[in-house]
Structure 1
Amino acid sequence: MFLLCVLRYALFLLVPLSLILSSYLYLYPVFHLCAFPSPSQDGLSSKFLSSRTTSYLDTLLQHTSFSNDEKIAPFRLLALGDPQLEGDSSIDNVEAAKLPHWHKFLDHGGGGGFGIGFLRGAMILGEEKEEWKTRIINVAGNHDIGYAGDIDQARMARFTRMFGKANYEMRFHLPEGVEAMILGEEKEEWKTRIINVAGNHDIGYAGDIDQARMARFTRMFGKANYEMRFHLPTNTTADDGEEEKEIPELRIIVLNDMNLDTPAGTKELQDETYNFLNGVITTSQDVTRAAHFTIVLTHIPLFKEEGVCVDGPFFDFFDGEFGNGVKEQNHLSRDASKGFLEGIFGMSGNTDVPGHGFGRHGVILNGHDHEGCDVYHYINQSSPPEREWAATKYPQAVATGVTEEMDIPGLRELTLRSMMGDFGGNAGLLSLWFDREEWDWRFEFVNCALGTQHIWWIVHILDLITLGVGVVYVVLAVLQSIPARPAGMVQVGDGKVARANGGVKGPSPKEKTNGHATPQYTMRIGVVEEKDTGKGSLRKKKSKATMNGSSSNGSAMSDR
């Protein structure tokens, strides 16, 4: 069959192609050598291999009997930016579960036909069309187009499908009398723990954040402000045995910076954020303490001049509502960013402050700018009295030596590129380990990208086509393998087959009687055919019935 042949050759092409592309899609970290940076990437192996390759090989060895814990960072953070699982933060009445104008629509004759009353009711109902357009968009794709009260559940269901069942009830606040948790404990628990950072699609900006949205976020994704402290279990005795050193400590601060800038629509919530921030500052270790590292996880990036990143400085404010608060912003304000660097990290352009203004070691991770950005913030202590914080791209800062200058305190800020398909499906891999020789923490960050969202669609569409062609091919092949009966013949019983023209064939092609072959006869109208199965000859005789109306042979055949 020609069609079967075409399908066979199509499968020869489609099956290998689908397997290759599907393997790439679901194993893309293998193809891109994606792995958490390892402490050994700067060792001897990096002289022959790239740091990415070295880290990948160390990760592979971790799952074998040759595993070496010293080659694996004790702290590893998988960071995903801006999944865009938008809630109803853009809806004015977030708690509304029904159409508030529906009864007005009915009162004005909306249910009584298509008269003037109906048109008047439709105009009233249309006042909330944007609100419900947003509600439908928020739920679309969740396989749960339900009432407004179901939006939270639908959004959470989609989040769970993406990230799996997660645990948000972490022990964020340390018990009394306990200074810190031990880094590396509760390994199994941390496999299901997710740290969620509040963003504008969760709670809105400073102007439209309210108690209802904050309560919803806390209920669904955990607290918006908290901190964790960890101690690294290690021998604190110096190698020469003469001096006791500081215990390595890691501090993780999760900060809601959505309402750091003013005006804010709800001052009480802004006060909560600033009270938490002040608590972080007052309970921080001394800036001169060694072996201390601070990670800040937040959403809105720090201020930077136009051109450093894709997003430049931008602020927009509500007009006449929400206390004229912040409606949208790309960065924190210059003052809020300065408070970040000088308050949390203790950095300063003044050399007379404790630690000479170099502050604490650490890193800031945030999102919001979907394009992503790697920035180095610094302040030149040798500049004139009006010392200002500046920012440049981190690779450029390294190339120009800014990161190594003795009189320039600085800090790296990592703005994660969005994990959405439009931006390449990115995941950030942050590793933190302790350098015993320097008695200080070190970290590295790499980005792992799948590729544009079209790759996902192409692969799955191709898989469906391959599956469909395969099913059609199997069905046709099975049908072709079924033996067909001779055309125009039907089984009638006793081994006889009736032809469509009324003839009857005998039960056996080669019956033997007393060792002699028995002739077979086929009756047709006007003609009798006799087959001599023994000699294979065929003789035709005119039927006597056609000559005189009777025949012994004909009678014999009739008797049969």
Structure 2
Amino acid sequence: MSLRGVLQRILAILLPLSVASTLYLYLYPIVQQCAFPIPSTKNNARESSSTFAANGVINTLFQHVGAADSQNNNNNNIRPEPAIFRLLVLADPQIEGDSSLPHPDDEFGSRLRRHWAKIQSVLFDTTGRSESDSESEIPPSVISVLADVVHTTIYEDIPSAIRATLKRVDLFGNDYYLAHIYRTLSWWTRPTHVTVLGDLIGSQWVTDEEFEKRAGRYWQRLFRGGERVNDDLTITGKKRSSEDGDVPPEAGLEPLSRFNSSWSRRIINVAGNHDIGYAGDVSRHRLDRFERVFGRANWDIRFRHPPLEEEETQQEEKNITDENAENSHIQPTLHVINLNDLTLDGPAFENEIQTDSYGYINDLITHRSYPVEDETSFTLLLTHVPLHKREGICVDGPHFSYFDNEDDNSDGNPRFKQGGLREQNHLSDHASGPGILQGIFGMSGDAHTSAAGGRGRRGLILTGHDHEGCDVVHFVNRTFTDSSDNNENENEHEPDNSQPWHWDATRYSPSALTSNSDNGSSPAIREVTLRSMMGMYGGHAALLSLWFDADPDVNHWQYELQTCAIGGQQIWWAIHGLALACVGGVLLVLLLWGVETVCSAKTEKKTVHFVSKEVAKSSDRKVERD
């Protein structure tokens, strides 16, 4: 069998496999039925009974074929509307860079030039020898140098060059693997908002030059087409002086749009420890360069829901009271908070930065948070380090470590101080409880003395940092337990044993959340720590739907979250490698076919020419005999 025949048989097997796997890779959200959950309201429930478009994937498909415009214009019963706030959530891409590659002076070409200069130097030293010496054998020094160069090149330089090349290919592929996750999910699911929950790059200690390179790859490769959130929109995070005055509550009030949202291209970047460091090594310089490229580290914005549509005929059918009728005129709002919680614990490298963070939280609570009793407001907290939990709740348990000595950086600019906070898995119990749960969300176990019975504001917490991911419910535990073992390594305040309650957490389940949050005596809130989007963790993302249920029996915000994973980076490499191999195989088959066709044509031509000559000779001999 010819080579072309063998290749054709192989391609007959590989081509269908390549086409199928490529379709999966570029349509994996559809294959895995990844879509923003459809709001579970009474109106949507009625529509769901008469249409299959209540399925999230089918509903998203309708959006792609242009059904959204027709729905908005005339027939609202064609399919349920998607949520008005749809957030694509990603976490911890951790872009690596040139710092993991050899220094330019150690590149393969530079090494060869140094070897050649060494050889030339030795040969030049031998040019002054006498004529009789020149006729003798090569000096031992030259042989020794040549042997050393050959040995170094084979056993050190070439392996190092191979490792560097593989690392460059890996970095290239990793960038486009991460970009594929964002690009594919953004195209298919049509989010109104996008966030990355910290650790955008792989190290906070990279040079400014390296930081700029990785930032350029972040915007030009991973999130190509995305935009930094403008400082005019994040004015709440601006460091303010006494002359500036307070930020008014209505500052940053933005309209929500179900379709064609102006925020769909803006990337809400959360500061991570690999971007700016932990409290013990966050410097003003690192924080400033992050904010210049990726946006402010502390800011919040309030979105307003468009006027609620409550038809008069529906009101008459329900025979609602005047009090309920007023619900159609309420103005629901969504408060999105981007919090840099890396500086809440300590000891801090720069106390001023930590003071600014707590000042921001106090300003947020005092001036821009709506009353706890306001059921029409929802608080969405985006931050990096997860809240405190007991050991065993998540993969990462409570852990704090501190710098053992002073930094001996040779440039004279220390990166950290002895005793400063070096690493943490969770926030301390004090930063989590009084700082966030009680401060930002207004929750408390003191039902009789706290607003709204201590229930707190309706909300959700999204965090990164723990690459394995975790989903928990924080709640008030009124059963006292000795938590001294869990607080062993933490820099936090000792719990007040006289207090008849304490903060606790448990794995999330719908019953764990509703059994606590639906009664004022046991406030609870959900925290989702998203699994990393890195290839070694399966390329995860989350799709969060938030909507306001205007039904008089509900009359508050609701949400639903779905996760979606593409699979490991090796899948991305394998599918693209197979596709390239098939393309190369097809081209080779075509080339062989062309060569065989040309050769066959030439052979046929020679055969015809030979036969013609033989016929002519035969004719001539016959004529001669005649």
TM norm structure 2: 0.67
Q: In the alignment, what sits opposite 1:272?
A: 356
Which structure has more RCO (C-alpha within 8 Å, separation ≥ 6)? 2
SS of 1:219's equivalent?
helix
Once the 2 structures are TM-superposed, how far is the Cα of residue 506 of structure 1 from its aligned partner?
9.0
Report if aligned partners of 2:388, 2:432 keep a CA contact under 8 Å in 1. yes
Cα 1:309–1:348 shift into 2, 3 Å:
same
Aligned residue number for residue 367 of structure 1: 464
Equivalence map 1:221-300=2 (5 Å):
221-235=294-308, 240-242=321-323, 244-245=326-327, 246-283=330-367, 284-300=369-385
Contact 1:33 1:52 in 2 (8 A): no
Query: Which one of 182, 194, 198 corresponds to residue 271 of structure 2?
Result: 198
Q: Does 1:443 align with 2:559?
A: yes
1:142·1:158 contact (CA, 8 Å) conserved in 2? Answer: no
Paired letter, 1:316 = S
Quote how far apart the aligned CAs of 1:334 are: 0.6
The question of whether the paired residues in 1 share the 8 Å contact of 2:343 and 2:357 is answered with yes
Percent identity, aligned pairs only? 41
Distance 2:309 2:46 in 1: 28
Larger radius of gyration: 1
Alpha-carbon distance change, 286 to 402 in structure 1, aligned in 2, over 3 angstroms: closer
Which amino acid is the alignment partner of residue 306 of structure 2?
P
Retained in 2: the 8 A contact 1:200–1:258? yes
In the aligned structure 1, how far is the partner of 2:63 from the partner of 2:300?
30
Task: Measure, in 2, the Cα distance between the counterparts of 1:138 and 1:453.
Answer: 15
Contact 1:45–1:54 (CA<8 Å) still a contact in 2? no
Task: Quote the offset at 1:485 in angstroms.
Answer: 4.2
Deviation sequence 1:165-187 (CA, Å, 0-9, x none): 32214312378684522222994
Are 1:181 and 2:295 an aligned pair?
Answer: no
Structure 2 residue aligned with 1:474: 590
| 1:406–1:87 Cα change, 3 Å | farther
- Which of 191, 206, 224 is the aligned partner of 1:164? 224
Q: CA deviation at 1:41?
A: 7.7
Q: Secondary structure at the match of 2:55?
A: helix
Measure, in 2, the Cα distance between the counterparts of 1:355 and 1:4.
Answer: 78
- Per the alignment, residue 400 of structure 2 pairs with 315
Q: For the residues of structure 2 that align with 1:506 and 1:348, how far apart are their CA atoms?
A: 106
Contact 2:454 2:520 in 1 (8 A): no
Output the aligned Cα RMSD: 4.0
Secondary structure of 1:194's match?
strand
1:301/1:266 Cα in 2 relative to 1: closer, same or farther (>3 Å)? same
How far the C-alpha of 1:55 sits from its partner, in A, is 2.0
Contact 1:79 1:430 survives alignment (8 Å): yes
Structure 2 vs 1, CA of residues 177 and 210 (structure 1 numbering), >3 Å: closer, same or farther?
closer
After TM superposition, list the pairs within 5 Å mapping 1:427-466 onto structure 2. 427-437=541-551, 438-466=554-582
Q: Structure 1: which 5+ residue stretches go unaligned?
A: 91-96, 100-110, 115-132, 492-496, 500-504, 511-517, 522-529, 534-538, 540-560
Aligned partner of 1:154 in structure 2 is 213
- Deviations along 1:173-221, one digit per CA (max 9) or x if unpaired, are 3786845222229945323200000001101111111011111101110
* Structure 2 residue 171 is the aligned partner of structure 1 residue 141: yes
Match of 1:342 among 407, 427, 438: 438
Whole-angstrom CA distance in 1 between matches of 2:353 and 2:169 = 27
1:58 deviates by 2.1
Q: What is the match of residue 526 of structure 2?
A: 412
Structure 1's 200 and 399: CA in aligned 2 closer, same or farther, altered over 3 A?
A: closer
Amino acid at match of 1:168: R
Cα deviation, residue 397, structure 1 = 4.9
CA contact (8 A) 1:38 1:71 kept: yes
Contact 1:40–1:71 (CA under 8 A) maintained in structure 2: no
> Which amino acid is 1:293 matched to?
F
Q: Which residue of structure 1 aligns with residue 89 of structure 2? A: 79
Write out per-residue CA displacement over residues 64-99 of structure 1, whole angstroms, 9 at most, x where no aligned residue.
465446521110100001111257999xxxxxx999
Alpha-carbon distance in 2 for matches of 1:272, 1:178: 22
Matched letter for residue 353 of structure 1: S
Structure 2 residues without counterparts, runs of 5 or longer: 73-79, 107-117, 123-162, 176-205, 237-246, 407-415, 481-497
Q: Which amino acid aligns with 2:457?
A: R
1:218 match: 291
* Counterparts of 1:360 and 1:285, CA distance in 2: 9
CA distance in structure 2 between the partners assigned to 1:315 and 1:87 by the alignment: 28
**How far apart in 1 are the matches of 2:286 and 2:519?**
45
Contact 1:85 1:201 in 2 (8 A): no
- By how many angstroms is 1:406 displaced? 4.9
Partner of 2:528, secondary structure, is: strand
Is the 2:375–2:458 Cα contact (8 Å) retained in structure 1? no
Aligned residue identity for 1:227: D
How far apart are residue 244 of structure 1 and its match? 3.6
Q: Distance in 1 between matches of 2:217 and 2:378?
A: 35
The match for 1:549 is none
Q: Report what 1:426 is aligned to.
A: 540
Could you tell me the TM-score, scaled by structure 1's length? 0.74
- Determine which structure has the larger strand proportion and give its number: 1
- 2:516, 2:523 within 8 Å by CA — same for their partners in 1? no
Partners in 2 of 1:52 and 1:298 — Cα distance?
34
Paired residue secondary structure (1:390): strand
Letter in 2 for 1:374: D
Q: 1:398, CA displacement in angstroms?
A: 3.2
For residues 143-175 of structure 1, the C-alpha deviation after alignment (integer angstroms, 9 at most, x for no partner) is 99xx95531232023212111132214312378
More helix by share: 2
The aligned amino acid for 1:32 is Q
- Distance, in Å, in 1 between the alignment partners of 2:618 and 2:28 is 76
Contact 1:34 1:52 in 2 (8 A): no
CA distance in 2, matches of 1:214, 1:138: 28
Partner SS for 1:295 = strand
| 210-219 or 67-76: bigger deviation | 67-76
| 1:152 counterpart letter in structure 2 | F
Whole-Å Cα distance in 1 between the matches of residues 229 and 623 of structure 2?
95
